[in-house]
Amino acid sequence: MGDKNVFFGSGGEANKLRSGSRYSTLIETCCLDYVGVQKRGKREFVEKCIIRRILVEGGRFFVVEPKGMMLELSPDKDMSKIFDKVSQALRDRAKEKKMQFMCEVADRLSKAERRLEAEEAEAAAMQRQLALIEQKKSYE
């Protein structure tokens, strides 16, 4: 079917068709920008950044039914449905990226806290050793 085409639907069939496609790359690239667009500009953003690019590159839009049947969506008749599906994909991917970022930040913070605790423990041990040396000197 080619990597220029877009396959909407849930489940294994749609996922197999979608992986590595131009559509997936566009969603990945544009998702965070989409979140920052005001509500009035979302339709134009989606049409310009995703839908028009797919169409100009010769791609088509399909809905994959649960049993593997495919229904082609026409940009002339089904633009609203195409827009809704693409917008949802952008929102979902943006949410995933934000969660991934938050997990990475939490992981870095946790590592930094552990390093700090280790450094504080090492400093406390050095202070104890220094106190023992000072105490030993006072007895001499």
Instruction: Tell whether 125 is covered by a domain.
Output: no
pTM of the full structure? 0.67
pLDDT at 64: 84
Instruction: Tell whether 121 is covered by a domain.
Output: no
Instruction: Tell whether 26 is covered by a domain.
Output: yes
Cβ 17 vs Cβ 1: under 8 Å: yes
pLDDT at 134: 84
Instruction: Tell whether 97 is covered by a domain.
Output: yes
pLDDT at 15: 53
Range of the domain at 62: 6-108
Q: Which of 24, 13, 17 is nearest to 2 (CA)?
A: 17
Instruction: Tell whether 134 is covered by a domain.
Output: no
Question: Could you tell me the mean pLDDT of each successive run of 10 residues in the chain, 140 residues long?
Answer: 79 56 88 89 92 93 82 91 92 88 87 92 91 81
How far apart, in whole angstroms, are the C-alpha atoms of residue 52 and residue 56?
A: 6
Instruction: Tell whether 72 is covered by a domain.
Output: yes
Instruction: Tell whether 66 is covered by a domain.
Output: yes
Cα 112 to chain centroid distance, Å, stands at 24
Instruction: Tell whether 85 is covered by a domain.
Output: yes
Total structural domains within the chain: 1
pLDDT at 102: 85
